Structure 1
Amino acid sequence: MERFKKIAFTLALLGCSSFLIYSTVNETKLVPKREVVSLPSAIDFAGEKTPLHVADVRERFDREMIINTNLHSTTTLILKRANRTFPIIEPILKKYDIPDDFKYLAVIESGLANVVSPSGARGVWQFMPETAKEKGMEVNDFVDERYHLEKSTEAACKYLIEAKNKFGSWTLAAAAYNGGMGGINKQITNQQVNDYYDLLLTEETSRYVFRILALKEIMKNPVKYGFDLPKESLYHPIEVKKITVDSTITDLASFAKTQGINYKILKIHNPWLRDKSLTNKIKKEYVLEIPVEGY
């Protein structure tokens, strides 16, 4: 009996070993090895050169490149969304003479989605309520224009122009979008330097511009970094018609039906509508987007 037990144990051990070897081999086949990609020899933000010859600058950029090239699902979604979102953001940046590189700021703020931060910032450009109102956006229980891509992009442009005028640098203007103009100004005064790459800042702000640079590099050269997406897989712009309303809409679901769509589709294309109705006592004009094909 003891002999049979030993034989059974040996067979079980061999079976487990074979299973582990089989699993390891198949896992290796399923998860492709990611190659280490060398950093570009030079990069800039809004025409302002990044000093990659400085050791800590190069290493901070390297960190963000490693993180974002390996965040495969997140970066893939960003590339898909950008095909629909960038055509809306780019002309607004151009209208305000803001460098095109700032579209990548929107990328790192929200992944080009209408997200909500733990602190209460909302929308693609991640505005807090007070700052949004200061920049001319309506924020209340019925309307929150932080979710309005065009209007929030214009508000971001106004903030960035103000920051650029204050600091004289687009790189510092970008940093101020994260750290606040007051916070950046305080550190410039305390540390007696006025270059982003020379400042010792909080962890989040010290990474901020490097995250922008990393996404810029990856999104401009996706195939180089392992993101070879077929054109048909990207999220394409949806054709819409724009209608103006200047009165209260008591039931948005019923209103949506009159436009040949449903409530869900109305909210998807007009995420700034925050309630089931639209109260409009002052007859303000609102522009709603209605998809032409009904989706």
Structure 2
Amino acid sequence: MLKKYHYFLIGILIGGLLIYSIEKLRSDTGKPNLATAAIVSNQQPNNQSIKGYPLPETMTFAGESVPLDRIDVRERLDREIQVNAFWHSNSILLIKRAQRWLPLLDSILVANDIPRDFKYLAVAESGLDQVVSPAKAVGFWQIMKGTAGDMGLIVNKQVDQRYDPVRSTEAAVKYLKQAYEKFGNWTIVAASYNMGMSGAASVIDNQRASSYYDMVMSEEPSRYVFRILALKIMLENPANFGFDIDQSYLPEALTNVIVDTNVSSWNDFAEEYGTNYYQLKRHNPWIRTYEMSVKPGQKFEVKIPVKK
């Protein structure tokens, strides 16, 4: 009984000291520190609210209408908009990288009669970063090694053109053209980039589906096109999502040097053009070692930074 009374008194004493500490800190600084803020905040109502981002009333992908009059389509798009737009750190980086890379990808797509919206597919695939997936897909367009060879890219120990934004985009163009010849629908072409042409064809045949929006698929391909749509909406109108980006990653001044003979040392090559290996690799990530053997008839375009 005595022990319980002692504990009661100790509790009162600790509570009094805590209240005194909070009030003393407020009087000294005008506001509580991080340790006391949590205690105080639990005693005050939260007047802040979090609002979701709105969906567009209408939109298209590659000139094809997105059926936003359907509840299921709106909910699937809504999921990807909220997930991507609320991932603020990633969204800011995407907006900054887009200023550097999307005009380049756009120009290659247009020159090859591919709808411009497919540049957002590259954003969905890699975030416009030279990433390598767990399945060993590489670069902006996440191209597998076997597919790279079929699309005319050189991949060996010294060179991997999947890391070249220009060459890899040209390879993606070849795939997109082949897929469109097969399906005749750009939205299904986009889906097939994720699930493969045979996978898309199998779903269409088994389900008698004529539209991507009516195809029953596993989660990744079922979300894939909607992720592209969400990124298109966000990157075309970042201010509508509250993003105010002052300093984007703009294209750098580069000059092209054609290499059609062996390079015994990329270090020596870089020094010859007034730069270093680091800068050479930064602008030519397809260079994988310190030297390069060039077969007869091969030509490589090496980008060199222009001195200010």
TM-score by length of 1: 0.91
| Aligned-residue offset at 1:293 | 2.1
Gaps of 5+ in 2: 24-31
Residues 1:22 and 2:27 aligned together: no
Among candidates 101, 107, 110, match of residue 94 of structure 1: 110
Distance between the aligned counterparts of 1:235 and 1:25, measured in 2?
42
Equivalent residue, structure 2, for 1:153: 169
Instruction: Verify the 8 A CA contact 2:265 2:290 in the aligned structure 1.
Output: yes
Among candidates 60, 63, 75, match of residue 59 of structure 1: 75
Instruction: Verify the 8 A CA contact 2:76 2:223 in the aligned structure 1.
Output: yes
1:4-24 deviation per Cα after TM superposition (whole angstroms, max 9, x unaligned): 745531234434797665247
Equivalent residue, structure 2, for 1:103: 119
Gaps of 5+ in 1: none
Instruction: Verify the 8 A CA contact 1:247 1:283 in the aligned structure 2.
Output: no
Distance between the aligned counterparts of 1:287 and 1:267, measured in 2?
13
Distance between the aligned counterparts of 1:84 and 1:11, measured in 2?
59
Equivalent residue, structure 2, for 1:71: 87
CA 1:71–1:238 in 2, change beyond 3 Å: closer, same or farther? Answer: same
| Aligned-residue offset at 1:140 | 0.5
Equivalent residue, structure 2, for 1:249: 263
Where do 1:263-278 residues align within 5 Å?
263-278=277-292
Where do 1:25-64 residues align within 5 Å?
34-64=50-80
Instruction: Verify the 8 A CA contact 2:53 2:81 in the aligned structure 1.
Output: no
| Aligned-residue offset at 1:35 | 2.8
Instruction: Verify the 8 A CA contact 2:102 2:119 in the aligned structure 1.
Output: yes
Amino acid at match of 2:263: I
Amino acid at match of 1:161: K
Equivalent residue, structure 2, for 1:197: 213
Query: Is the radius of gyration larger for structure 1 or structure 2?
Result: 2
Distance between the aligned counterparts of 1:281 and 1:164, measured in 2?
34
Among candidates 272, 288, 293, match of residue 258 of structure 1: 272
1:217-247 deviation per Cα after TM superposition (whole angstroms, max 9, x unaligned): 01111101111212xx001110111111122
Q: Percent identity?
A: 44
| Aligned-residue offset at 1:278 | 1.1
Distance between the aligned counterparts of 1:159 and 1:25, measured in 2?
59
1:193-219 deviation per Cα after TM superposition (whole angstroms, max 9, x unaligned): 121000001111000100000000011
Among candidates 137, 158, 163, match of residue 153 of structure 2: 137
Distance between the aligned counterparts of 1:266 and 1:185, measured in 2?
42
Residues 1:8 and 2:13 aligned together: yes
TM-score by length of 2: 0.88
Structure 1 runs of 4+ with >4 Å offset: 1-4, 15-21, 23-26
CA 1:218–1:24 in 2, change beyond 3 Å: closer, same or farther? Answer: farther
Distance between the aligned counterparts of 1:24 and 1:50, measured in 2?
48
Residues 1:240 and 2:254 aligned together: yes
CA 1:92–1:24 in 2, change beyond 3 Å: closer, same or farther? Answer: farther
